[in-house]
Structure 1
Amino acid sequence: MQSDRPIFVIGCPRSGTTMLQLMLHSHPRIAVPPETRFVVPGYYRRFSFGDLREERNRRRVGRWIVSDKDTKFKELKLDGDRLIDDIVAGPPTLGSAMGITFRSYAEQYGKSRWGDKRPSYYHHVDLLTRLFPDAQFVHLIRDGRDCVASLKEMPWYTKDVFHAAVNWSEAIDYGRRHAKKLPADSYYELRYEDLTAYPETELSKLCDFLGEDYDPAMTEPYHVARVAIPQHKVWHSNTHGDVTTARAGSWKARLEPWEISVCETVLADRLVANGYELSGAPKASKTHVQACEKAASKRRWARRRKEIRDRLNRFREPSPVAARLTSRQLGELAKV
């Protein structure tokens, strides 16, 4: 039986996750839409929807996905009224409602399997596995110095270099935890540099992990960039061309000497562990190191408080959240 497990692409922002999204979307069986904004917010809003075993509450979920200005639903180009009806007719769980949305997106391309891409998902894997217990996660890792260099140039990134460096270190650390915690068939890592240098080899190995046959179209993702990348996202313009190694190592020209020192001082162990050579830059100043530590501490405690609240809230959920759509999900349900 061919797999119908959901696929989530994760990684530090500016790691090449959009390119990987397009590569997967180029597969004849897999559809991965532009970034959506309803999975994580919808999970945290689950109490406002009420018990989804009631039809009117499933309709409420559907209306929120379709109508809320922050969900990015319009970029899926789906019939909203039809989707709401499908959600109402579907299994009474939040994961099912969201899964039906992604499944509908895949169906409009004649595909039977869906995925989703959002870099920040790397710290929401526990949440995602609650919604989609059989999900597979693909973590794309890129040289942290290149990620920092790219992040600081983005019009939407309002933080400083210290926060950018911490963002990459977080993604790596979360990846280590996921690798230890998740089953081998649920979590996979690959490097951006390897993917761009040897796309056929790396995509073949990725397809083996996903339980799919490799398709050569995956190495030419620019063919689908026009339909899978919103035009206003000009920072993804590189995805409209050939897969190239030209951007690997570009941090050498894009970062100031002091910024290189910050990255190589704060990220040294993680860089080396992932196969990236250090340039030998002098150590960062104590002030800069402390700025990174302060950013890391602030992010860590904010996330920790949110995780604690969520674990307490799980005891009073109005209805089950796990999706009941795929063969594995239904198989697990039958065992209960």
Structure 2
Amino acid sequence: MGSPRSGTTLLYHMLLSAGGFVRYRTETHVFSTLAPRFGGMRRRADIQGALDVWLGSDCHTLSALPADVVRDLVERDCRSPGDFLRLIMEEMGRRQGLRRWAETTPAHVLHMREIAAQLPGALFIHVVRDGRDVAASLSRQRWIRPLPTDRDRPALAAAAYWDWVVRAGRREGRALGDAYLEVRYEELVDRPQEVLDRVGAFIDQRLDHEDIVRVGIGSVGRPNTSFPGATGGFQGRWRTELAPGDARDVDAMLVRTLRAFGYESDSRNAPLRLAARARAYAARFAARRALKAFAPLARRSTSLDFFAPGSMRVTAEKLAQAVAGDAT
């Protein structure tokens, strides 16, 4: 989990390639989308609503589970979002002959304490990437709506979101003590075995980089355009991908948070105008998060676009892995 475009999928596919984890090639958005949209899934009618959305989505298709099995499990035993996620993942594990599972929704970084309360014993890995590179990548996607003053500068909105979400994620995680680990994307691609040793000690499992590359699930074996293997080739691209003025302002806006997470910066501090802008964005993001915690408003404001049929890439390979697990 972590900010979007931070390498969460790369680490997840490394774990799947290592073996011993349920093979499920997508995110779930249970806590970040289904739970707020359906009143925290506290009432039977809300659980039923979430289940109907799930069964009509590619999330369900990629699980390779029969719909009647999922429906029976959830209708019988689900009392919370944590139950919903656990029941589906455990049933996949039962069919794959595996007991451990991992989940990779980036936005769940904002829900760690809630998840920990509902899934006792859960461990949390927060993947952090240089916020300037995240801003360059996110600004191309235009997922973060800029303030009116930044309509032509989406990189500032993207940078502000990274700043807010990694700080919020660190607060969530540090409340969990030893159940929380931070991993830097740049170290993962530059010194993969060193980072995998840390992750392996954290989850109590041996992780061998050569074995992981040999199995090569997903972005480990066929890197996407953002994470080209463990080469580090996409580090520092903000300097060339962002316009000079945007690069300068993004670096200055993020200077405190960059240094807090161990990154160097060309800036000494953020000018007042950029600091004020970052606070304005943070207030907006925090307000949206608060709305999601208030059921009546969250029902109307939480989009279900992620669960629209056809929103994910469903392949024969992904389905075969979900059916066979480590046997593939």
TM bucket (normalised to shorter chain) is 0.7 to 0.9
The 8 Å contact of residues 197 and 245 in structure 1, kept in 2 or not, is answered as yes
Structure 1 residue 176 corresponds to structure 2 residue 170: yes
Structure 2 CA distance for partners of 1:30 and 1:215, relative to 1, 3 Å: farther
Q: How does 1:11-26 map to 2 (within 5 A)?
A: 11-26=2-17
Match of 1:162 in 2: 156
Letter in 2 for 1:181: A
Structure 1 residue 274 corresponds to structure 2 residue 265: no
Instruction: Give the SS at the match of 2:181.
Output: strand
Q: In structure 1, which of residues 46, 49, 66 is the aligned counterpart of residue 55 of structure 2?
A: 66
Report the Cα distance in structure 1 between the residues aligned to 2:41 and 2:170, rounded to whole angstroms.
34
Report the Cα distance in structure 1 between the residues aligned to 2:29 and 2:281, rounded to whole angstroms.
25
Report the Cα distance in structure 2 between the residues aligned to 1:268 and 1:37, rounded to whole angstroms.
30
Q: How does 1:76-115 map to 2 (within 5 A)?
A: 76-90=63-77, 92-115=79-102
Letter in 1 for 2:191: Y
Report the Cα distance in structure 2 between the residues aligned to 1:282 and 1:47, rounded to whole angstroms.
42
Can you list the C-alpha shifts for 1:189-238, whole angstroms capped at 9, x where unaligned?
01111110111111121011012222446642882118999xxxxx9445
Structure 1 residue 29 corresponds to structure 2 residue 16: no
Unpaired runs of 5+ residues, structure 2, are: 147-153, 299-328
Can you list the C-alpha shifts for 1:126-174, whole angstroms capped at 9, x where unaligned?
3322332322110011111111011112265555222211111112212
Report the Cα distance in structure 1 between the residues aligned to 2:19 and 2:234, rounded to whole angstroms.
28
Letter in 2 for 1:300: A
Instruction: Give the SS at the match of 1:190.
Output: strand
Deviation at 1:301, TM superposition (A): 2.6
Letter in 1 for 2:282: A
Match of 2:189 in 1: 196
The 8 Å contact of residues 135 and 158 in structure 2, kept in 1 or not, is answered as yes
Can you list the C-alpha shifts for 1:47-68, whole angstroms capped at 9, x where unaligned?
596655xxx987665444313x
Deviation at 1:276, TM superposition (A): 1.5
Root mean square deviation of aligned Cα: 3.3
Can you list the C-alpha shifts for 1:86-122, whole angstroms capped at 9, x where unaligned?
3345465542232111223344544221111111112
Deviation at 1:291, TM superposition (A): 3.5
Structure 1 residue 292 corresponds to structure 2 residue 275: no
Report the Cα distance in structure 1 between the residues aligned to 2:59 and 2:276, rounded to whole angstroms.
37
Report the Cα distance in structure 2 between the residues aligned to 1:114 and 1:90, rounded to whole angstroms.
19
Match of 1:187 in 2: 180
Aligned pair count reads: 288
Structure 1 residue 122 corresponds to structure 2 residue 74: no
Match of 2:322 in 1: none
Q: How does 1:200-239 map to 2 (within 5 A)?
A: 200-216=193-209, 219-220=212-213, 223-225=216-218, 236-238=224-226
Letter in 2 for 1:14: R
Report the Cα distance in structure 2 between the residues aligned to 1:155 and 1:103, rounded to whole angstroms.
35
Match of 2:149 in 1: none
Report the Cα distance in structure 2 between the residues aligned to 1:140 and 1:196, rounded to whole angstroms.
12
Please identify, of 76-85 and 89-98, the stretch whose mean Cα deviation from structure 2 is larger: 89-98
Structure 2 CA distance for partners of 1:145 and 1:122, relative to 1, 3 Å: same
Report the Cα distance in structure 2 between the residues aligned to 1:57 and 1:148, rounded to whole angstroms.
36
Instruction: Give the SS at the match of 1:220.
Output: helix
Please identify, of 130-139 and 15-24, the stretch whose mean Cα deviation from structure 2 is larger: 130-139
Letter in 1 for 2:203: L
Structure 2 CA distance for partners of 1:60 and 1:243, relative to 1, 3 Å: same
Letter in 2 for 1:24: L
The 8 Å contact of residues 124 and 173 in structure 2, kept in 1 or not, is answered as no
The 8 Å contact of residues 178 and 187 in structure 1, kept in 2 or not, is answered as no
Letter in 2 for 1:15: S
Deviation at 1:27, TM superposition (A): 2.2
Report the Cα distance in structure 2 between the residues aligned to 1:155 and 1:181, rounded to whole angstroms.
32
Match of 2:128 in 1: 141
Report the Cα distance in structure 1 between the residues aligned to 2:269 and 2:46, rounded to whole angstroms.
59
Using the size of structure 1 for normalisation, the TM-score is 0.73
Letter in 2 for 1:264: D
Which has more helix, going by share of residues? 2
Q: In structure 1, which of residues 235, 238, 242 is the aligned counterpart of residue 229 of structure 2?
A: 242
